[in-house]
């Protein structure tokens, strides 16, 4: 009985820790998201997309001076601009976009 309870507690702890870690993107994951979005905006396919992604991901994230949060803000801002959102609609969109992991 105690062993089952201990096992259940350990499993629950690992699950919660896994969700907490999955919610935060690393700088590289954020960079991948931004590069992917830029490639999509340029409608790149096949070899062109592969070349673009390679060069985009090789750029030193410290060199562009943007933190992952700043990259996320730039991405969300770009999406809001594409959707031509203004006022409260833009505010609501930006809030939900920035909360996404």
d(CA 29, CA 14): 22
For the full predicted model, state whether its pTM sits above 0.75: no
What angle, 0 to 180 degrees and rounded to 10, lies between the N-to-C axes of helices 87-99 and 68-82?
140
Token pair recorded at residue 11: 């499993």
Mean pLDDT for the stretch of residues 72-95: 91
Q: What residues does each domain of the chain span?
A: 2-99
Backbone angles phi, psi at 40, to 5 degrees: -65, -40
Per-residue pLDDT tens for 30-77?
Answer: 888 888 888 888 888 888 888 888 888 886 644 456 777 888 888 898
d(CA 81, CA 37): 14
Per-residue pLDDT tens for 10-26?
Answer: 566 665 555 545 556 77
**Which residue has tokens 């590289």?**
28
């Amino acid at each position: 009985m105690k062993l089952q309870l201990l096992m259940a507690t350990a499993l629950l702890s690992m699950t919660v820790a896994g969700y907490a870690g999955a919610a935060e993107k690393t700088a590289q994951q954020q960079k991948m998201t931004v590069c992917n979005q830029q490639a999509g905006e340029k409608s790149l396919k096949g070899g062109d997309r592969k070349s673009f992604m390679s060069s985009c991901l090789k750029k030193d994230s410290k060199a562009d001076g943007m933190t992952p949060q700043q990259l996320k803000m730039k991405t969300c801002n770009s999406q809001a601009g594409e959707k031509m959102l203004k006022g409260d609609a833009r505010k609501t969109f930006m809030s939900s976009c920035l909360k996404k992991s």
